Amino acid sequence: MAGTLAYNLGVRHIFQRKFDSPELAKALKDCHWYLISRRPSVRIVNNSAQIYDNILTAVFEIRTEEERTEHRELGMDLNTIGEARDLKIHTDGSYFSLRTKEAIYHGDAWALASFLSGADAGLATQEVMYVGQAFKGGTSNAWDRTSKHKKLQRIYEDHSGLSWDIFVSPLVLNKRTWSSDDHLDDTDDGPSMRLYYEKFAHENGDIRQASVDLIEHSMINYFKPPYNEKLIGWSPETPTASMRDMRAAGFRLLYVHLDGWFGLSRFVSEARPDAVRSHFITHELISQSDASKTLKQWTLEGVAYREGHKIFATEVEDADVHLRVFGEEAPEVRRPPSFHFPRGSSLNTGTKSTPALAGLSDIRRKIQEQRESEKIESQVPVQPTYEPHSGTVKVGWYTDTKEPSFWRLNFPTGGVCSGLILGGDGSGKTNTLRVIMTETLKSGVFVIAPAFPRSPTSEIDGLRSFTPDPSWVSHNKKQTIFNLERMARVIDARNAHKGYSVPSKTAPGIMIFIDDSDEILSDPLGAEIAEKILVSGSLAGVGLVPVVRDIDSLPCHKSLIRLLINTENVLNFFWDDPFLVHSLRAIHGKPRRRTYTPSSNLTFMLDNHPDCISVGILCGVANSPSMPKKEALRWAETELSQSGARLVGWTKQHGAWVTFDALSATIWQLRRHPDDWVISHVLSQHGLREPVRLSHAIAWASNIIHSKFDVQIGQWNCGPGTLPQFSSTLYTNTTGEIILKKQTGKLSALMRHLY
């Protein structure tokens, strides 16, 4: 098996305005790639745009490729963004702006039409004319910028006088990942992590030039834009330098997933005429010897290779479009030179309908009817999701399986459950905290003590009416620690009476929520009280749910980290480090004291040495830790030979003695641990240029195990190894039957999560 490289790209913005060279450089800043595309022009008809009862309506003039003109009447309810005013149309109907109390929204007529139509294919489609590199990080020089502008200028000139608009779309990397498997069934050694980080990726999540080149080549070959002259073909027989690097590193399959612009765009080309919001691009490096190999029917990569484009194109059709592209999160450079922020009185916001636009009244009527329907629905109490028999609430759905996600508030027999949420800014951690907080309140058997130390006071004032005492709501560090002390006193009082059992309406549990808690938990007093709540609060009906942005910021509080990471509920929103929780539990969890513990289950071992990483199966122990090396080698050779192995001799590698069974192509290791001599069957190993993070090592080992076996494994634990560092060797046991992998499982769901 060879490996798979996978990348997810997003569109940072779609610029409709014309660019000179310096402005183009600003637009492409911090992006690796860009698209130039075109579509027939879309304009807002003069005097057609209105805001009536806070409902925006407008008529859009759409030019077709046949130079005909069509008109579309579209509208939307503006109540979601507040009371709107000062609607203005600029630049001959190609740009709009409107103002609310909080912000100014402005953008291109095309983007507004696509948004109002729900990304209708007739309005959202854009034909890709050119794919280029954007030189992220400011390495582009004046000549680079000029040459890029020449290509854009040529496209402008070729479309001069025609009814086409030209767009520039910088692309950003949303996610990168890799797999130790691909779509062909063979005995390839698999990918090298050392070469992966040397050639394709940085540890910080960014990518190297070879990845940039591969992605550019992939998109050019996929769309075959008319203005690209190179890299139109993808030929393993005549590989580019990045293709050679890819194969040398043990990768044979490439996935590039290009998402539309918050759902607003549908990129097409003559080679790819289907107007979908999402493109899943696959490329392979298949030699003549590979061509005869069997395509896997049951693995993730096999399904992705055959059906990935269809799966993603279909699934993303259910996605909503987003208004954020018109707000202040969008790049400032999107404004055309002729646009100035509006001042003065409102435009077209009166209470009378224009007779010539009477057709738009149907749109307003439907929106008003929808408002009335929602008003009625809002008066109906939303049913709580709390289940007393399990103590859980529903907090969402898994995006891959569509199964509900549950959070445990308490055990049915007593004891309140704390939790931990890990995530960086913009990851969704705070929204999830608010959902959990809301469901906790709706349970009817809990009260809350919320703390938002980094949020403006105005954003949390509304929470005061939902707490037993308004002072339970904290908005800074001092207040938060003060309230933690109050809750600690509640715990002392309840434990002194020893009468508390299960949360109820008459004796509710108390759940403390702290968003962005790093500063609180790094404080010696804050950490001490939090630890007390986690240790003593459960049976007193008090729980703690902090959100932590950087778990490494709590280095002096190992016992607190251990308590947090082993709470009943842990959510990880660090999407680029999905095994972070596994590594934290391995480091801070209960260690494995002996190499071998009697059990009917199989044991996997992961060695994370500074210069080598390996994963294998524990196969035997000598029960004689003091045995000399020569005697241990004879013992191992005897044991393996009796099992039918034909060994070719021993070599010393990375603290272990290694031999090879030529008959079965199996690698065996003899290892000296502090407590015994150990024989292991090596599933995979790679040399390292530099040490890897433990979470990445666990991810690699888990991928290897699950690519070879259909098996469930337990928690990874640190244990005895060949190095004195206690965290260099990890163990995990199977929790059931182990068989060679022969069935798919939920492959499409896994694929959506990974790619």
The count of other CB atoms within 10 Å of the CB of residue 675 is: 15
CB 7 within 8 A of CB 172: no
For residue 335, which of 143, 104, 505, 152 has the smallest C-alpha distance? 104
CB 446 within 8 A of CB 503: yes
Helices and strands of the chain, counted as H and E runs: 19, 33
CB 59 within 8 A of CB 72: yes
DSSP 136: T
Residue located via tokens 């612009």: 261
Phi, psi of 739 (to 5 degrees): -135, 160
Chain Cα centroid distance, residue 218: 22
DSSP 357: G
Report the side by side order of strands in the sheet with 729-733: 651-653, 656-661, 666-673, 676-687, 612-621, 603-608, 729-733, 717-718
Which parts of the chain register pLDDT below 50?
A: 138-143, 145-146, 183, 288-289, 291-321, 343-356, 376-381, 743-755
> Which residues share a beta bridge with 104?
99
DSSP codes of every residue in 227-256: T--SS----TTS--HHHHHHHHTTEEEEEE
- Domains in the chain, CATH or no CATH each: 3-318 (no CATH), 413-575 (3.40.50.300), 588-754 (no CATH)
Q: Which amino acid is located at 718 in the chain? A: C
Looking at residue 330, what is its pLDDT?
54
User: pTM, whole model, 2 decimals?
Assistant: 0.52
Looking at residue 301, what is its pLDDT?
44
Looking at residue 727, what is its pLDDT?
62
> Which residues share a beta bridge with 36?
130, 168
**Residues 6 or more apart in contact with residue 401 via CB below 8 angstroms:** 746, 749
Looking at residue 27, what is its pLDDT?
74
pLDDT in tens, 337-355: 555 555 433 334 333 333 3
Q: How far is CA 380 from CA 80, 442, 445, 654, in A?
A: 20, 14, 21, 66
228 token code pair: 């690209």
53 token code pair: 């009862």
Looking at residue 403, what is its pLDDT?
81
CB 409 within 8 A of CB 560: no
The number of C-alpha atoms within 13 Å of 170 and in the hemisphere containing its C-beta is 22
d(CA 566, CA 580): 13
Burial class (CB in 10 A: 0-12, 13-18, 19+), 373: exposed
Length of the chain: 755
Looking at residue 88, what is its pLDDT?
87
Looking at residue 372, what is its pLDDT?
61
